Copies of this chain bind each other. A is one copy, B any other.
Amino acid sequence: MASIKDVAAEAGVSVATVSRVLNGHPSVSPGARTRVLAAVDALGYRPNAVARSLRTDQTHTLGLVISDVLNPYFTELARSVEEEARAHGYSVIIGNADEQPELQDHHVRNLLDRRIDGLLVSPTDGGSPLMLDAAHTGTPMVFVDRWIPGVDVPVVRADGREAVRDLVTHLHGLGHRRLAIIAGPAATMTGSERVEAFREALREYGLPLPDAYVGQGDFQAASGRRATEAFLNLPEPPEVVFATDNLMALGALDAIRARGMSVPHDIALAAFDDIPWFVHTDPPITAIAQPTGELGRAAVRALVDRIEGRPPQSVTLTARLVVRRSCGEPQAAQPRTMPSRSMQPPPKQPPSTQRSIT
């Protein structure tokens, strides 16, 4: 593979001049410029990004560590991250942690070794020493979706509190009183936060949330199945299961089907995270939708700001309830007329661009 030296020789100039031409440095004569360009063309020369990175200490690469690529939510996130990064001139290396802290550490270490310019993380756990250390020693970093409290790292996320309240309102309006939730790992912020929001909303309606109605999941389908089976084995099973992510909802659906029961007739089902497939399941599933694409883009913008020396901002967008038929009573014509205060005025600004600064 041709190097800058070959180009210099071919063009009859020094490597310095070649470099200047390639980097658009002004001080190059038109003659030299054309000869260099011709040589580049003739040799099919492409600059070696590895060498360039070593010298400039910039890789123009972002690392993205997510907890589960197979989860459509994260897939979409990854896609929007890559798009926005490309628009800013960065590439992205994705690390799939598969909800395993050790794997997450492996990827963080690997990305750090490769000297990526910045790191986007959706932490699987409360934060390993490695990651905390990276944050402290000044690696540009941004948390997306999930985060670790007490660390000075900007967070880009969607707030689901209101949407959860809307959901509870919706369920209550349909006459459901015994509501259960499948929680995510307590170690993740989103895990505990969603349960908290649910508990609070229930309190507003004077509904209890017995311990038996809080299933412990790990954001994977199998755990959703297990938790749901436990619910169904209860002397008084819940009327509604709310899964705090889409895969656990899928597991719940499996468990319900395996019992020969049907949704929403025998039991209602709702999920956090809306994905295209929920429209096509049997029945279509009521879910809380995050502005996933905008989340990814905002995260990249924050990270690039940080990398390029501008002050990065935390961003909080809002999630919204999407009512379908999995909780009963298909409200055919007027799909979203709920007696909830949060349903009152449509937000002035589109929710997807709403920014709050921390």
* Partner-B contacts on A (CB < 8 A): 44, 46-51, 53-54, 59, 69-70, 72, 75-76, 78-79, 82, 86, 91, 93-94, 96, 106, 109-110, 112-115, 133, 250, 253, 276-277, 280-283
* Beyond A253-B280, A281-B281, 20 additional pairs, beta carbon < 8 A: A44-B133, A46-B112, A46-B113, A48-B115, A49-B113, A49-B114, A50-B54, A50-B114, A51-B54, A54-B54, A69-B79, A70-B75, A70-B76, A72-B72, A82-B96, A91-B93, A93-B93, A250-B276, A277-B277, A277-B280
Q: What's the minimum C-beta distance from A55 to chain B, rounded to whole angstroms?
A: 9
B250 near A280 with CB under 8 A, answer yes
CA distance A106 to B50 in the complex (A): 18
Residues on the B chain within 8 Å of A75, using CB: 69-70, 75
Residues on the B chain within 8 Å of A96, using CB: 79, 82
CA distance A76 to B253 in the complex (A): 22
Shortest Cβ distance from A74 into B: residue? B75
Residues on the B chain within 8 Å of A276, using CB: 250
Instruction: Identify A47's interface contact among B44, B47, B113, CB under 8 A.
Output: B113
A113 near B48 with CB under 8 A, answer yes
Residues on the B chain within 8 Å of A46, using CB: 109, 112-113
Q: If the complex has contacts A91-B93, A250-B280, A283-B282, are A115 and B50 also in contact, measured as CB distance less than 8 A?
A: yes
Residues on the B chain within 8 Å of A69, using CB: 75, 78-79
Q: What's the minimum C-beta distance from A44 to chain B, rounded to whole angstroms?
A: 8
CA distance A310 to B348 in the complex (A): 63
Residues on the B chain within 8 Å of A113, using CB: 46-49
Q: What's the minimum C-beta distance from A356 to chain B, rounded to whole angstroms?
A: 29
Residues on the B chain within 8 Å of A70, using CB: 72, 75-76, 79
Shortest Cβ distance from A275 into B: residue? B277
Shortest Cβ distance from A281 into B: residue? B280
Residues on the B chain within 8 Å of A76, using CB: 70
Q: If the complex has contacts A70-B75, A79-B96, are A50 and B53 also in contact, measured as CB distance less than 8 A?
A: yes
